[in-house]
Amino acid sequence: MNSAEGDRELWERSVAFHGHSCPGLTIGYKAALYARDLLDLQFSEDEEVVCVTENDACGVDAISVVLGCSVGKGNLLFRLRGKQAFSFFNRKTGKRVRLVLRNRPKQDKTRDEVQQAMMHTPPDQLFDVKEPTFALPEAARIFTSLVCECCGEKTSESHIRLQGGKQVCLDCFSSYSRFM
């Protein structure tokens, strides 16, 4: 299978995973392919590839399919800023890149026409290539589970708070702040 056929298969798998084809999915798909080429990435079996996305939109699904980044593995992290921007890290080489979707002039095109135009636009014309503004996040940790002394549910120790001398989960914790 040549590269174009492989990429077409990745597109079809992205659509199947996401549930439909749309411009947003195309953005993530094109970003993932571009990052793959820029950083010499392969599908991430564990945490070799890390993506920090600045949105929770459709494109994130394509990044999961193309590069193997997922919340459960701990190599898909959300830094929600409402931007079509994605930072990719190659843990093996230390290379990193932040891809930011360029502003496009408003045009009288249908959703399908916009998507087709993006699919046929080279990625270096879709995205600005920048340096991430933060360091590579640490690898995922495995935390001990503790029992909340209020509701009795097991909770990761990283999400337990001390309140009134008891270990409580975030749902049972009453935050306190007098400052605005």
pTM for the model: 0.86
Q: Are strands 160-163 and 154-156 parallel, antiparallel or unpaired?
A: unpaired
Residue 3, pLDDT above cutoff 80: no
Choose among 150, 47, 35: nearest CA to 95. 35
Stretch 62-72: mean pLDDT: 97
3-class secondary structure, 88 = strand
- In order, the DSSP letters of 94-118 are --EEEEEEPP-------HHHHHHHH
Domains annotated on the chain, with CATH: 3-130 (3.30.1330.130), 141-180 (3.30.60)
The 10s digit of each residue's pLDDT in 16-27 is 999 999 999 999
Model confidence band, residue 2 (pLDDT cutoffs 50, 70, 90): low
Residue 134, pLDDT above cutoff 70: yes
Stretch 162-174: mean pLDDT: 95
Amino acid at 15: V
Stretch 97-105: mean pLDDT: 93
Backbone angles phi, psi at 32, to 5 degrees: -65, -45
Q: Beta-strand (E) ranges in the chain?
A: 49-53, 76-78, 85-90, 96-101, 127-130, 145-147, 154-156, 160-163, 166-169
Residue 6, pLDDT above cutoff 80: no
Stretch 104-124: mean pLDDT: 91
3-class secondary structure, 89 = strand
Model confidence band, residue 5 (pLDDT cutoffs 50, 70, 90): confident
